[in-house]
Amino acid sequence: MALPRDIPCESIMESLADGVFTVDTDFTITFFNRAAGAIAGLAPEKALGRKCWEVFHSSLCDGACALGHCIAKDTTLQNQSIFIVRPDGTKVPVSISAAPLRDATGRIVGGVETFRDISDISRLRKELEGVCTLEDIVTKNKTLARSLELLPRIAESGSTVLLLGESGTGKELFARAIHTLSPAAKGPFVAVNCGAIPGELLESELFGHKRGAFTDAKSDRKGRFALAQNGTLFLDEVGELPLALQVKLLRVLQEHTFEPLGSDTSSTTNARIVAATNRDLETMATTGSFRRDLFYRLSIARIALPPLRERPEDIPLLAATFIERQNLLTQKAVTSLSDNAMRLLVRHTFPGNVRELQNILEYAFILCPAGRITPEHLPDYLLPKSHNPETPQATPTTMRAAKYHAAKAALARHDGKTMAACRELDVTKDTLRRILATGPGE
């Protein structure tokens, strides 16, 4: 049945329960219905005239834009699950469909996207699967699930938190979750790696300095404590702090004041401190290499994150999460891991923990164009010796190295046939030649 001619198209779109918005070819929002405003958490008139990524901050807005892909390729997309971020920081899972928008002559003049809130569906699915979630953290492990249950109360308290765990267990992810769930969520989240900055520079990095405080101090500079005002300061690898700086950090925790280098005036801070370490601070406090009073001041709330080898039940869950995320970033259609590939992952001890698993799957995406990830797509060091007669290799540490090793492996599988390797990797001949010419860079 045809619609009456006197009903405006915008009136129809305003009556829909799904969010609908349109953009021009510069991705400026030209229409935004009431349902879109309700889901995105802002008034429709505040979205008009803005770039779509300024409104949604979605998981696709970092370069894998679905709407941009539809406009550029003149194609459509249906029922893709992503999340958007409301102005208050809340993440909302949505299902989107997108298509090019044409004028009366058929020329593409922009794009149209519809989306619906699937929070209840997503929550129910995870509950049925026995998955405990909080922010970006997912687990079936009882120990970690207990920590997630306590995290909102710990975040709300404002107390100093100490996160303990091996490298790659997700300490910064927990720190960000504490910040997001805390009263300081609208303030900045500032991170500093205490082990990556030389001791003589770390004091200036934390507390700032005044002009002339040392040879290269040509102007005043704010430190991380000042930058984290009204927010959260994350001190990663806090066990690497020199003893002299430990004294100054203790004073900040006790008195909320500090002096920038070269200043005789105290500055105040209300930044909430979350610290993390992969070292045994309690033993270090006993031996005198870490101040005992600072240890107890940092660990008012203490959370230990188990290594991945102690939570093998999370490997399939994490793998599925990373595959979904890589699909969004690469616009590929990788569905899952094959049974054999999953067995290899579950048997692995993961010395690099969750970060290593993420790197493994990122590498697999280079080799796997679509469908299921099989053992041949995984790094060689995961394969049984019968399939890997050469010396096991470490996971490539950079994307450049990963691309190089993937290109070499593809050429080996195709007996040096360049075009066959290009088809497998979905790259041009020039791109393959450039990857091989630049080398791994390791």
Cα(243)–Cα(200) distance, rounded to whole angstroms? 12
Per residue in 151-167, pLDDT tens?
Answer: 999 999 999 999 999 99
Neighbours of 326 (CB within 10 A): 19
CATH code at 312-438: 1.10.8.60
How far, CA to CA in Å, does 250 sit from each of 241, 259, 409? 12, 13, 52
Is the pLDDT at 429 greater than 50? The verdict is yes
Q: Could you tell me which of 36, 53, 31, 43 has the C-alpha nearest to residue 111?
A: 31
Per residue in 231-271, pLDDT tens?
Answer: 999 999 999 999 999 999 999 999 999 988 888 888 999 99
Would you list the domain boundaries of the chain? 17-117, 129-306, 312-438
Using a pLDDT cut of 70, give the percent of the chain over it: 87
Joined together, the tokens standing for residue 421 give 């390797």
Residue 350 contacts residue 357 (beta carbons within 8 Å): yes
Cα(146)–Cα(137) distance, rounded to whole angstroms? 13
pLDDT value of residue 152: 93
Confidence band for 77, pLDDT divided at 50, 70 and 90: confident
pLDDT value of residue 231: 95
Is the pLDDT at 371 greater than 80? The verdict is yes
pLDDT value of residue 47: 93
Joined together, the tokens standing for residue 422 give 């290009």
CATH 3.40.50.300 fits 129-306, yes or no: yes
Residue 271 contacts residue 229 (beta carbons within 8 Å): yes
- In this structure, what DSSP letter does residue 220 have? -
Measured in Å, how far apart are the chain's first and last C-alpha atoms?
A: 65
Per residue in 289-319, pLDDT tens?
Answer: 999 999 999 999 999 999 999 999 999 999 9
Confidence band for 100, pLDDT divided at 50, 70 and 90: very high
Is the pLDDT at 90 greater than 80? The verdict is no
Cα(324)–Cα(385) distance, rounded to whole angstroms? 30
pLDDT value of residue 250: 95
What residues pair up with 116 in beta bridges, in sequence order? 95
**Cα–chain center distance at 285:** 33
Which CATH superfamily is 17-117 part of? PAS domain (3.30.450.20)
Confidence band for 376, pLDDT divided at 50, 70 and 90: very high
- In this structure, what DSSP letter does residue 330 have? H
The 3-state DSSP class for residue 272 equals: strand
Is the pLDDT at 433 greater than 90? The verdict is no
pLDDT value of residue 229: 95
pTM of the model: 0.61
**Average pLDDT over the chain, rounded to an integer:** 85
Better-predicted residue by pLDDT, 51 or 11: 51
- In this structure, what DSSP letter does residue 237 have? T
Residue 217 contacts residue 171 (beta carbons within 8 Å): no
The pairing of strands 91-102 and 77-85 is antiparallel
How far, CA to CA in Å, does 211 sit from each of 248, 280, 419, 426? 21, 38, 59, 53
